[in-house]
Structure 1
Amino acid sequence: MNLLSRLLVVACLVLPFTACKKEEAPQAQAQVAPPLPTSSEQKDWKPYLEYKLTPHMGGITSSPYVYFLPKADTEDFDGKYQRQLEKLQTDLGRGMTEGVMLVFASPAPEKEVEMIEAAFKDVPQGSMKGVKVVFIGTPILGERVKAAVEPAGVSYIFEEAK
């Protein structure tokens, strides 16, 4: 939960800078993609998530909800998974409005997908129109996420983890 809070704070801090960059003159060379982090450390994921999310921020009216699970061999992983699942279910139960973005990224993508499937099974069809869901992972897992979230009416965005 502490890591999630940190990622949300990071996302809040990144958004204003992202908006400012749009007003700058175009750069001569394209931005180099940061490598896919292999750790569970927030500092390692921040530049990667910023790079992956920036192109999808159009129409987003608040800071993204970032759901992140650490590596499966992390101490108390099962507890962290359960708390993350409960938070996601609570957030979805409250309802999401247009202009919200949900982001899912993890060095344990298989468990992340299980969490998404479990949480979205109770979301009413078509109840999340105008909400973006971004999943960063493999194409095969991306298809599972797509099948789980699209009935809710979200705009699904897949970003390959590489």
Structure 2
Amino acid sequence: MKTTTRLLLLACLSMPLLVACNKGEDKPAVVEAPLVAPTTNEGAAWDTYLTEVVKRNIEGATNVYLYTLPDPAGADFEGEYARQLEKAQGDVARGGVEGTLLAFGSQNSPKSADLAIASFAGAQAGTMKGVRVMFIGASADSERVKAAVEPSGAKYEFIEAK
């Protein structure tokens, strides 16, 4: 009985040492491959790309909304644009909840910028504090979007689609 008790006591006392030894092991760093924007207007490829961009930049976000557009040459582009605009305007009109990320992007950067700008056209000053707005597109369109977003109090972020 004494031997069993001593062995259990020894095991309990040595456990923290074993745990501490394992903490020092370095885990290999995970290196993500650089993202490359699709070279076609194929909607599924762009959706995958934009989703991955958002995933890689999601830190701190608890609610994520991604607004994308289909191929501009598609049959129902105008209808899809109108539906996305209505949704985005509604989301912006409700005001911001801290930790929300609104991301805009598509294969047509100027139209995606137009969508973001129109979405924030009716935003009241300061109603989007604590919200991040990410525009994924061409640098030529970034300043237009930034100018439309900043009065709302949202933090603007630009990621070049390349």
Q: TM-score, normalised by structure 2?
A: 0.76
What displacement does 1:78 show? 0.8
- Residues 75 and 128 (structure 1 numbering): CA distance in 2 closer, same or farther, change over 3 Å? same
Q: What percent identity do the matched residue pairs reach?
A: 42
Alpha-carbon spacing, 1:25–1:53, altered in 2? closer, same or farther (3 Å) = farther
Query: Which position in structure 2 is the counterpart of 1:161?
Result: 161
AA in 2 matched with 1:141: D
Q: Is the 8 A contact 1:33 1:48 kept in 2?
A: no
Question: d(CA) in 1 for partners of 2:50 and 2:161?
Answer: 10
Count matched residues.
Answer: 136
Gaps of 5+ in 1: 1-23
Distance in structure 2 (CA, Å) of the matches to 1:108 and 1:49: 12
Instruction: Quote the Cα distance in structure 2 between the aligned partners of 1:161 and 1:117.
Output: 18
1:27 counterpart (4, 29, 33): 29
Q: Does 1:41 align with 2:43?
A: yes
Report the equivalent of 2:116: 116
Residue by residue over 1:44-72, the C-alpha shift from the partner in whole angstroms, topping out at 9 and shown as x without a partner, is 2354234422343222112x101001121
CA distance in 1, matches of 2:37, 2:99: 27
Deviation at 1:75, TM superposition (A): 0.9
The equivalent residue for 2:150 is 150
Gaps of 5+ in 2: 1-25
CA distance in 2, matches of 1:99, 1:25: 30
Aligned residue runs from structure 1 range 123-134, under 5 A: 123-134=123-134
Report if aligned partners of 2:134, 2:156 keep a CA contact under 8 Å in 1: yes
1:87-106 superposed Cα distances (whole Å, 9 cap, x missing partner): 11111122221100001110
Q: Could you say what the CA RMSD is over the residues aligned between the two structures, in angstroms?
A: 1.9
Q: Give the partner amino acid of 1:36.
A: A
Find the structure with the greater CA-based Rg: 2
1:76 equivalent in structure 2: 76
The alpha-carbon distance between structure 1 residues 26 and 125, as it changes in their structure 2 partners (threshold 3 A), is farther
Which residue does the alignment assign to 2:15?
none
Alpha-carbon distance between aligned partners in 1 of 2:155 and 2:27, rounded to the nearest angstrom? 30
- Distance of 1:97 and 1:26 partners within structure 2: 36
